[in-house]
Amino acid sequence: MIRRCRPWGGSFVMLGNSRRSPMPLCGHDTLKTRRTLSVNGREVDYFSLEAAGLAGVERLPFSLKVLLENLLRYEDGRSVTVEDVRAVADWLVNHRSEREIAFRPARVLMQDFTGVPGVVDLAAMREAVKALGGPASAINPLSPVDLVIDHSVMIDYFGSADALTKNMDLEFERNGERYAFLRWGQKAFNNFRVVPPGVGICHQVNLEYLARGVWTGEEAGRTLAFPDTLVGTDSHTTMINGLGVLGWGVGGIEAEAAMLGQPLSMLIPEVVGFELTGTLPEGTTATDLVLTVVQMLRKKGVVGKFVEFYGDGLDSLPLTDRATIANMGPEYGATCGFFPIDAETLRFLRFTGRDEDTVALVEAYAKAQGLWRVSGAPAPDVHRHAPPRHGHGRALAGRAAPPARPRPPGPHGGRLRRGPALPGAQCRHRPDRGR
């Protein structure tokens, strides 16, 4: 019988080894694009897209600008070449490319279901290095890794004030060995942090706490700023694109490769523009909007492509709704559904407790790099590839669809059928079948 084990306290405290051993943050800078930006009296370096001298770079979709910056920063003549950088600008000619590029995300997000095998692999590599006579401490993630424990939830108690506490006690009892192992991992490995159980699902924690918008690191005694990007082992990692942070879900092997500083190979993606105009009419919800967007994009066919949202409809679309649309990326088949940074992004960062220095850096960096959405500005150059998909608020009506089939929603006509009554509000316990 597993002993009751509570390796973490009940409060949300970011845990992990504070020592950092990041991989190199930049390459050769052959195009001489490194510039300095002053933010609240502090100087930070960045790799300027404008300084690269690429024709038409200002017309690129925002999501491709993020990829372009990644290539500029890591250009080393081997894994990333100047030709790779220029290929992104050449994308404007045909709005597609067969060029394969090496993308290095700023960080990796994992949940416990896929994260435990990743930590096991790191531990196995340490054992192998030790067996060969080397120091086990040499094996560490090179990219920052956050592991959110959220896949061990089972509901045994409900309908009572102490249901959460009782369910948490059972969760720790059932998963004591796994949690103890993850606690060991957070102490043993550099660049590895764990979000304790009971905080929330990983992509929500990512949106509300972990994401920065703009990442910083130390390079040759200077602070370097660059876009916050990530890959995650949860398919709904795409939710973070609602915050203007480029990210998507990957498999465990790809995530481990990114952890160890290896670039992810990908074709320069096609980008489908989705124009949002108007405002949501009274009586409709974000769910109605999301179901409509999913239906339109499934008809269009966006598998393996980036979707980028633009238009004056973004002026009145709150970030929570943007995140909901971005979260459904796997349902409409796109690699990601990207929303650029704007004033609403800053409002959400402040609302969720990010400090003013972080918010100021996001604003200054986005404006300096052309990553800031300006209301009424020309649309990104995506329409030549295919007619942009339009979503107008007045075209929406209340819609309903079962969770497993978001494709064919139907209007509910403002009437909801009353379902069967739930059992009495009392504490119910389902026997643990594992005991």
Residues ≥6 apart with Cβ < 8 Å to 124 = none
DSSP string computed for 395-416:
G---EE--TT--SS-EE-TT--
Residue 106 half-sphere exposure toward CB, CA atoms < 13 A: 22
Predicted pLDDT of residue 405:
54
Helix, strand, or coil (residue 67)? helix
Rounded to the nearest 10 degrees, the angle between the axes of helix 343-351 and helix 319-327 is 100
CB-based contact 341:373 (threshold 8 Å)? yes
What's the rounded Cα separation, in Å, for the pair 143 and 319?
A: 27
Backbone angles phi, psi at 354, to 5 degrees: -65, 145
Number of domains in the chain: 1
In a domain, 347, yes or no: yes
What's the rounded Cα separation, in Å, for the pair 33 and 226?
A: 13
Predicted pLDDT of residue 424:
39
Which two three-digit tokens encode residue 380? 């990104």
Predicted pLDDT of residue 410:
54
What's the rounded Cα separation, in Å, for the pair 337 and 346?
A: 19
Residue 163 half-sphere exposure toward CB, CA atoms < 13 A: 15
Residues ≥6 apart with Cβ < 8 Å to 359 = 346, 349, 350
- Number of Cβ within 10 Å of residue 212's Cβ equals 18
Beta sheet of 271-277, edge-to-edge order = 336-338, 306-310, 271-277, 389-392
In a domain, 148, yes or no: yes
What's the rounded Cα separation, in Å, for the pair 172 and 152?
A: 9
DSSP string computed for 158-203:
-SSTTHHHHHHHHHHHHTHHHHHHHHHHHHHSTTEEEEPTTS--HH
Query: What single-letter DSSP state applies at residue 210?
Result: I
Closest listed residue to residue 247, CA positions, set 74, 70, 89, 108: 108
Backbone angles phi, psi at 62, to 5 degrees: -60, -40
Closest listed residue to residue 24, CA positions, set 80, 88, 67: 80
Closest listed residue to residue 278, CA positions, set 304, 314, 252, 249: 314
What CATH number is attached to the domain comprising 194?
3.30.499.10
Going from the C-alpha of 337 to that of each of 63, 158, 166, 182, 283, the distances in angstroms are 9, 36, 38, 32, 25
Burial (CB count <10 Å: 0-12, 13-18, 19+), residue 377: exposed
In a domain, 19, yes or no: no
In a domain, 58, yes or no: no
Q: Where are the alpha helices (DSSP H) in 75-147?
A: 82-94, 112-131
Helix, strand, or coil (residue 428)? coil
Which two three-digit tokens encode residue 289? 């909007």
pLDDT tens digit at each of 435 positions of the chain: 333 444 454 334 444 444 454 567 788 899 999 999 999 999 999 999 999 999 999 999 999 999 999 999 999 999 999 999 999 999 988 888 999 999 999 999 999 888 899 999 999 999 999 999 999 999 999 999 999 998 777 889 999 999 989 988 998 899 889 999 999 999 999 999 999 988 889 999 999 999 999 999 998 889 999 999 999 999 999 999 999 999 999 999 999 999 999 999 999 999 999 999 988 888 888 888 889 999 999 988 899 999 999 999 999 999 999 999 999 999 999 999 999 999 999 999 999 999 999 999 999 999 999 999 999 888 888 743 344 455 555 455 444 444 555 545 555 544 334 444 444 333 334 444 444
Burial (CB count <10 Å: 0-12, 13-18, 19+), residue 32: exposed
- Number of Cβ within 10 Å of residue 105's Cβ equals 25
In a domain, 395, yes or no: yes
In a domain, 182, yes or no: yes
In a domain, 209, yes or no: yes
In a domain, 215, yes or no: yes
pTM: 0.85
Query: What single-letter DSSP state applies at residue 341?
Result: B
Backbone angles phi, psi at 59, to 5 degrees: -90, -5
Q: Evaluate the CA torsion angle 48, 33, 65, 73 in order and state its sign.
A: negative
Range of the domain at 328: 106-411
